[in-house]
Structure 1
Amino acid sequence: MAGIRKAKVQDADFIFKILQSYAIKGILLPRSLNNIYENIRDFFVYEIDGEIAGVCSLHVFWEDLAEIKSLAVLEKYQNQGIGKELVKRCIEDGKTLGIKKIFALTYVPKFFENLGFKIVDKSEFPQKVWTECIHCVKFNECSEIPVLLNLEDVK
């Protein structure tokens, strides 16, 4: 059996490990275990036969803006559409919550463009969005690309 579900508190250690494995490679920004626990309700996990194969979160910033964060799929499960399904679930969640726009900061903009996101300028987002960036080791040399999906354009 395979499918997406909301993360449980018991998943936090594994979520931390998968995110940390990509953070060490410089592919994702690191998140502390404490941060994962504090935001566990934001996370979805993709499970295959009881094993978590991938994770993704949707973090609400304001009444009309949310961010897709921490998208990661275990290497052995990559290129099977799991990341795409996780992002689609976050989009559905955003619609349910009444969010108007979802953005992501990514090193792989093409992946998001294939899901309807558009590359945009960072200046389109309110200052609050960048509060986490200030603490990032890559702050002054950030090469992440902002992408945006207007949910009013999504059927």
Structure 2
Amino acid sequence: MGKPYIRKARMQDVKAVHKLLMECSGQGLLLPRPLNQLYGHLREFYVVDPDDGGPIQGCCALAIVWDGLAEVRSLAVDERLRGQGFGRKLVEACLSESLTLGIYKVFTLTYQDSFFRKMGFAEVSKDVLPQKVWADCINCPKFPECDEIAMQIDL
């Protein structure tokens, strides 16, 4: 049996990513994402591969939102791996890709503000993210009463 590692998502990971996101959503850790949306955004995702043939054990996506602005979203780690640094590694993979793409502002909307604060993100007003509000948030069942915390990091 190998050691779990971070890699880009593959087509066969989509259903496992969806299952993991739904489990974490049920725990109140993040908002759910529809399965059909995951297929369309597969290239944005990194996953934790258990290296034993089992389903992925974590995921995170980097979504390009606007010129010079990206979002870290859909961060989820299987309960059995939490506290082992995989969430941090997934976010670091997204931030590294953001730098590679020349995107130096990255934000997240989260319920896990202490985790992101430890990673260098700082709380910001949602008003500084207008493109986000009209792109995704308008379709959210919680809009306009969003209870997630907006955080940003400048790379």
- TM-score scaled by structure 1? 0.92
Report whether the alignment pairs 1:66 with 2:70: yes
Deviations 1:62-92 (A, max 9, x none): 2200000100001111111110110011000
Q: Equivalent of 1:26, from 15, 25, 28? A: 28
Aligned to 1:141: 145
CA distance in 1, matches of 2:18, 2:57: 13
Identity %: 43
TM-score (norm 2): 0.92
- Per-residue deviation, 1:41: 0.1
2:11–2:42: 8 Å Cα contact kept in structure 1? yes
Q: Which sections of structure 1, spanning at least 5 residues, go unmatched?
A: none
Distance 1:42 1:9 in 2: 12
Instruction: Provide the rounded CA distance (Å) in 2 between the counterparts of 1:30 and 1:89.
Output: 22
1:129 and 2:132 correspond: yes
For the residues of structure 1 that align with 2:112 and 2:22, how far apart are their CA atoms? 18
Using the alignment, how far apart are the partners of 2:67 and 2:61 within structure 1? 17
Q: What are the residue-to-residue correspondences of 1:49-128 with 2, within 5 Å? A: 49-50=51-52, 51=54, 52-126=56-130, 128=131
- How far apart, in 2, do the equivalents of 1:140 and 1:67 lie? 19
Aligned length: 150
Deviation at 1:36, TM superposition (A): 0.3
In 2, the alpha carbon distance for the partners of 1:117 and 1:24 equals 25
